[in-house]
Structure 1
Amino acid sequence: IGTKLSEDSRKYGAENTCTSGSTLSRASLSYGRARAQMEKEQGNLLKALGTQVAEPLRAMVMGAPLEDARHLAQRYDRMRQEAEAQAIEVSKRQAKVRETPGISENVMKMEAAESKLQDLKSNMAMLGKEAAAAMAAVEAQQQRLTLQRLIAMVEAERSYHQRVLLILDQLEGEMVTERQRIEAPSSPTVENAMPPPPPYEEVNGIYASQTHNGSSDSMNYFLGEVMFTYQAVSDVELSLSVGDYVVVRKVYNVLRFILHYLKI
């Protein structure tokens, strides 16, 4: 299911079927890419479990130390069975000697059977100790190696989950960013903002350069905001209020006077 969803997400993101934006396409591509990375990490985990856990344990089970210990145990088991059979033979010889005393042949056979039984018991005791020591050594080795492989398995799984967690954290961050992008309110427009006044030239048809008698006089104009109230004292003067805008022609002999009342 996850693989199919990943493939569909990549396909959807690549086709970019959204008509109102590419947010969902980018999120789908991010998910598909993250899912592919997680599947790759899972494959690496399985490979690590095979090479670091399963194969060493299999080699340990099929290794020479365990096989040698098994052979010793099998030899001991056969010798024990032989000693049990020989003990029965000795009992028969002893019974026959008791039934027919004085026959030297029966006595010799009984003594030979008893000697063989004694040898079997002695060899069986030595082989039993050797087999027990070998099995104990193999068991200790197997426990140590098995524990090491279990630790390696846990470390591999922990590393896998850490990598997957990093992938998911990155994916979540990308998706949250996309969500914030589409949920962010648009910048409010200032309805009551005062538009800037039109240029003086546009209002009065005056341009910065005019020609008089074939010569060109350069004139500069400034748009200024009135900072102080000024009351006209004659008909040729202009009364000004704070906040008014005026267009000023730069004339050097009146510039100092105007700067007292305008912020240019």
Structure 2
Amino acid sequence: MRDKREDLELVRTVVLARHGARSTLCYLEELGPSTWNDPKLFKAPDFVKQVKVNWTDVGGGDPPKGQFSGGILPCGGQRGELTHRGYIGNSKIGEYLKTQIDIKEEDIYVRSTNTTRTVESARAIIAGIFNKPMEITIETPANNNDDFLTLHNSAKIAMAKLEWTWSTPCLYEPFQEKMSKIIRTVGLKKRAEGRQSQFQPIGVYDDYMCRKEHDLIINKKEKLDSVAEDLEELAVLTKHIINGIRFFLKVILTKCTYVLII
């Protein structure tokens, strides 16, 4: 490692990684036909396939009965699953770690949420480090509600008051002007029934960015590109709210330099 001091010994390195590129969780008709049903999009690279995963419960109990999957999109493709680009991206994390730290196979401990894309992302990181046939154990919570480092257990009081902003963010006054602009610009329409994800900043941003990252069809791309900055801002703010972080949103939305968190 750079600037290594001889009088110090590295005892532990903790790596917290997000899952890699994935398919969309939210399909919007306005963005055009979705082509997530192409198996090549989800193909794991051969060097990742060398790594066999065994998983167990973090509490030491029985292993989870099965990994949580995002389900099926209208096109027949997998919803929210790690893609080939996601495997490659997370393997680069492993390759980088290998250049910085002397990592031994017996020293590795891996923990993940019980979701296919996160388990596979961890697998890709390990493959990037070792690039050889091997087995790894990944500990995951048997109950999908027993997440860690997530909103579920960290901010229940705040969520009780602000949870509604997840499903109906357009009713939240600080969001209204920018979200109305996005809806009008892109031409988002009310559905006859079902979830109105096209009015959620996170939903629109998710489908737009997932398609863009994988070079898939995006209808009205120029219009979406013109409001992408506002869309990203509202999507990030919605996530912060749901995670129990209370912002002075009017200050943020006017792009003031200082943000106060209480």
Q: Which has the higher helix share?
A: 1
**Greater C-alpha Rg:** 1
TM tier, smaller: under 0.3
TM-score normalised according to structure 2 size: 0.16
Q: Higher relative CO (CA 8 A, sep ≥ 6), structure 1 or 2?
A: 2
